Amino acid sequence: MNQMTNTILIEEYHEGLAVGIAKMWNLSRDSWGGDTRVYTEEQIKLKEANSGNIALYLALDGTEVVGYCGLSEYKEDTGSLYIPLLNVRPDYHGKKIGKMLLMKALNKTIELGWPRLDLYTWPGNVKAVPLYKKCGFFWEDRDDTTHLMNFIPAVFNTPLLKPLFSQLDWYNSSIREIEVKPDAEKENGFTFYEYAWENDQTKARVRFERTGRGISLIETDDYLLELRMMDHEVIEEEAQLYEFKFVNKTDKPVSLKVKGNQHERAIFSLNEELVVDGEAVITNEVVFLQGDEPSAWKTHPYLSLHVEVNGMECELRLGVFPKQPAKITAKTNGKISFLNNKEIIELEIENSLKVDAEFELNFPESEYVQLINSIHYISLKKNERKLIKLPFIVIKFGFYQPTLTCKAKKADGAELSFTNQFVGIALKGFGEKFGGESKEYWHIYNGLCQVNIRKMDYLMTAGKDQLTDQPLAFFVPKLGKPYSTEFSKQKADNIEWYCEKESITFKLEFTSKDFKGISIRLYTSLYGDGIVKKWAVIKNNGIESFRQLYLNQALYHEKSHAYFPIDHHVVEFSNTKYLEFGDIHQRSLTGNWYFSEDHNGPIGFCWPKACTANIDSWQFYLEYELGLLNPGDEVEIEPCILSIGAFRNWQEWEAFVNSQTDQQCSSLISELDLTFEGKSPVFSSDNQAAFQLKSFRTNYLQGSLELFLNDKRNLSAVISENEEITTYTNSISLKDASAISLLKGVLNSGSQNKEMQKMLLITNGAVKAYTEETDQITSYVLENGVIKIKAAPSFYPGLYSLKLENREWFDHSFPERIAKGWWNPWAGGMKTIPSKLNSFSLMKGESIAEFIDLEDNRGNVWKSLAIHTKIINHDIWKGLQYTQYFAILPGVPVMAYFVQVKDSGGKSLIGETWNTDIFIKGDSLNDLSVTTSENTDAKKYFVGKEEQLLFMKKGSYISSENRQEKMYLVEGTDSQHLECYMNKEVFQVNNIQKSTEKTKPGFIIFDERIISESILRDLSQIEF
């Protein structure tokens, strides 16, 4: 750690400071929960280039960056700047650097003329609260977030108050009580925040009202101004009294002008000019029109007065919460509706009046539903809420949004009439497309799927249920650079949705204020299978050209069990440890997609290759370079695509994104990947095996590493975080390793134990290839010292024998074909044939065998027994020539098998399958059992007892009571399913593979141990 020098300087960001910022964040992890993520200079440069900050202030101790404070326009609300991130390096805490940074941001806010500065923190950050409050921030009392607002800029930018601060130092003269708790002076439902100052010369106080974000009271030695209302909650369309009070404390008359500021929903008239010697009170009425329900995230509708005191101006403001006499919301349960079916609307009704009342709700007739009762009477006490259930019959699919005609009758007989248009429910049906509007959202629907656009800020979510909160959400796009958040706060020029043949599209239109003349149309199309397409059209309607215009589309996603294309592999991330986008090395992405097996169903996302994908902590955003836009030019960007359950797995999604009709999957590796160099997983027994341990998260590798080969410790090492590495290399000895060796690695980082497992195939000796004669039948034989395989094409075109240590595992009838069970002729053993071809037709063909050396994709040479077959007489497969390969390595109890087509005989292979059947017996049929992987219903099934058909999950194995070895059948990556059939005569395993010219290899493995599916999966990297 560095020792602090005598001078801390505050400097604005430039790229030369990026490396210092990265170091600061890496040394500040413990201040942010102990995150192990590592920041780099490159990441900082990219982040800051796309941040949209108005300014970024850095505290420097010499060349060391020790503090960070961003300043940007607040996206959640109008009229405020915002500190998105504030940090002081832990070894510089207590040096008043945080204050220096805050004051710099505050002064810049005042300089730019903004009335407010906001920031967020977390509830447990209590040590920072006194600093924030001393610097003018108020802690808002909310359950959903920890939000602080600073109104000092409004104080300094109010002409009436400016003379005060020639006598007062706003920071040092403050007499505000500092308490570590939310701030709140409550009165009539209003929440007030008050500044107070006093010194030997003067004193003053200024009060701000929370929801209107404005001054409601000013008191100095000379005067008092106050705006009051009886209640913060007001009834829409009902006249409300307000009072303006002015007190002149001087001995001279004061010229006073008060004028009403018309603001959106507030309708009133006021224009008074007075000369006040003592006190003046103005009482009047205001009516607030119907509109959207205010949000805690935004400034509420407010009453605003423009006041001049002796020509010095100020604004007084009170925010209110306009309500209807009753708050009415509707909900239904269920993802889909059925015509002529009885369903239930659950209606929540809450009395907003300050007195008891009886409410009458009148539902009009509708083409969508038939209500059992159309008129309902509900008595509610003051502030009471009731739930009523309304039965109805579904007549038509669509968005049921009745205009309710309502009356509220008070206890004194007075009546209020009002309408409600936001009791909306979706009646989904298969293939049905429609849109609708609820109180807080617009919605479009297509079959089971729906898209929700939040009115407050145009946040978009999508799902297959009625929930608007989903794990993935798109923010409204931003134009830049620097990027502007204007659209999240701006009222759209146009909102509509329309149906096309296969989709329904939601359209938003905006006109930019920050980029004069630029308009943008945002499109979201929803397809019935769960595909969502998002794109935009940008037009220059102005008179000036834009040479470097960009569009930023950001999203967040609470992912679970994610897959990302990284370094030309697909990296599988944990399904238990949470993954933020910022945990991924952005520059390592080698594909334009990712996939996540979310709790509510699989999610896929992809984006155009032409745009740049960027990562910023929990956000993922796409950057489109729009190029030169001359007046009149229009550019349409390519869509990004979201899949909500349309694709089952990452393999299907990758194939879709890459426009592959024939699915070619990338190799799958773990987020903490242990790989071996050379010809892995095949090694010679006298080798040293060099390995690499790599983390695909952004944190450095650290901790103690132990490697166990066949449960014996082979290597121990310590990786220090100070080495700053994400890849660790070393080697292990394979001396005395068994033919199938299982390697287990354990990395203990202090916070977790991470296990890795690998299978190594250790070769020894040689493979013998020869022929032998039995009853004038030539058999082709391969043996490697452990296993022996035999085939006799004139007997049957397949393997008829597989022996391990001279003990037979195949059930066969060699040297004669027989009738057995459901089969005639039956030869047993193992063979692969195309679909729709039976044994009679197979035997009418021609088959020969030979020995062939095969080199796999890792450079290992396998000795194979190849059986070449030509189909002669068959309506479908005549002319087909294909080869079955059965390959082994020296000394290893593993056999690989696959099929390759030489000539399809003019027959298309599309839509067909290769069917491999294996008949297994052991010493006797009744000795055998099948043990399934742990996630299936039963654990063990016994052969020869009854007729059963089982689906063999990955990791299942076959064993015999009289043998220690287990037989594992590892299907190829193109396998559709592996099943086994058993009765009292036979035990047959079937592997069904997609029909291609060359299948992916499958494997038969023998080992005494229980081997997990994840270890067996290592063999999938082998191809021929």
Determine the pLDDT at residue 937. 59
- Show Cβ contacts of residue 125 under 8 Å, excluding neighbours closer than 6 positions: 146
Determine the pLDDT at residue 1014. 86
**Domain 161-322 architecture:** Sandwich (2.60)
State the Cα–Cα distance between residues 117 and 115, nearest whole angstrom. 7
Determine the pLDDT at residue 5. 55
Neighbours of 662 (CB within 10 A): 9
Q: Provide the H-helix boundaries in 52-141.
A: 97-112, 129-134
Mean pLDDT of 525-540: 96
Range with the poorest average pLDDT among 22-36, 219-233, 404-418, 551-565:
22-36
pLDDT at residue 952 is higher than 50: yes
Place of tokens 């068994």: 738
pLDDT at residue 7 is higher than 90: no
| Comma-separated ranges of CATH 2.70.98.10 domains in the chain | 768-1021
Range with the poorest average pLDDT among 193-197, 678-682, 866-870:
678-682
pLDDT at residue 570 is higher than 70: yes
Tokens (6 digits) for 527? 């397809």
| Comma-separated ranges of CATH 2.60.40.10 domains in the chain | 161-322, 324-427
Mean pLDDT of 369-394: 94
Tokens (6 digits) for 717? 């090492």
Determine the pLDDT at residue 4. 53
pLDDT at residue 936 is higher than 60: no
| Comma-separated ranges of CATH 2.70.50.50 domains in the chain | 680-762
Using a CB cutoff of 8 Å and minimum separation of 24, what contacts does 311-315 make? 311/255, 312/159, 312/160, 312/163, 313/158, 313/159, 313/160, 314/158, 314/159, 314/160, 314/161, 314/215, 314/218, 314/225, 315/158, 315/214, 315/215, 315/261
1-157 belongs to which CATH class? alpha beta
Q: Tens digits of per-residue pLDDT, 740-755?
A: 999 999 999 888 899 9
Which helix (H) or strand (E) covers residue 569, if one does? strand 569-572
Mean pLDDT of 992-1001: 93
Query: Which homologous superfamily is 680-762 in?
Result: chitin-binding protein cbp21 (2.70.50.50)
pLDDT band at 639 (very low <50, low <70, confident <90, very high): very high
Range with the poorest average pLDDT among 600-614, 661-675, 694-708, 831-845:
661-675
pLDDT band at 2 (very low <50, low <70, confident <90, very high): very low
pLDDT at residue 1 is higher than 50: no
Mean pLDDT of 199-208: 95
pTM, full prediction: 0.88
Q: What is the mean pLDDT of the chain?
A: 93
pLDDT at residue 955 is higher than 70: yes
- Residue whose C-alpha is closest to residue 317's, from 396, 221, 213: 213
Length of the chain: 1024
State the Cα–Cα distance between residues 514 and 82, nearest whole angstrom. 18
State the Cα–Cα distance between residues 887 and 863, nearest whole angstrom. 5
CB 347 within 8 A of CB 329: yes
- Residue whose C-alpha is closest to residue 531's, from 661, 659, 660, 656: 656
Q: Tens digits of per-residue pLDDT, 95-145?
A: 999 999 999 999 999 999 999 999 999 888 888 999 999 999 999 999 889
Answer positive or negative: Cα dihedral of 990, 994, 998, 1004. Answer: negative
- Show Cβ contacts of residue 628 under 8 Å, excluding neighbours closer than 6 positions: 545, 546, 547
Determine the pLDDT at residue 52. 84
- Which CATH number fits the domain 324-427, given the four candidates 3.10.450.50, 1.10.10.10, 1.20.58.220, 2.60.40.10? 2.60.40.10
- Residue whose C-alpha is closest to residue 549's, from 558, 540, 557, 562: 540
pLDDT at residue 204 is higher than 50: yes
Mean pLDDT of 221-236: 96
State the Cα–Cα distance between residues 85 and 70, nearest whole angstrom. 6
**Domain 433-658 architecture:** Distorted Sandwich (2.70)
- Residue whose C-alpha is closest to residue 885's, from 786, 1001, 993, 996: 1001
276 forms beta bridges with 254
Determine the pLDDT at residue 6. 66
Q: How many percent of the chain have pLDDT more than 90?
A: 83
pLDDT band at 325 (very low <50, low <70, confident <90, very high): very high
More confident call, 768 vs 421: 768
- Residue whose C-alpha is closest to residue 1018's, from 865, 864, 858, 788: 858
State the chain's maximal CA–CA distance in angstroms.
Answer: 133
Answer positive or negative: Cα dihedral of 843, 848, 852, 857. Answer: negative
pLDDT band at 663 (very low <50, low <70, confident <90, very high): low
CATH classification of 768-1021 is 2.70.98.10, yes or no?
yes
| Comma-separated ranges of CATH 3.40.630.30 domains in the chain | 1-157
- Show Cβ contacts of residue 926 under 8 Å, excluding neighbours closer than 6 positions: 942, 943, 944, 945
| Comma-separated ranges of CATH 2.70.98.60 domains in the chain | 433-658
CB 461 within 8 A of CB 469: yes
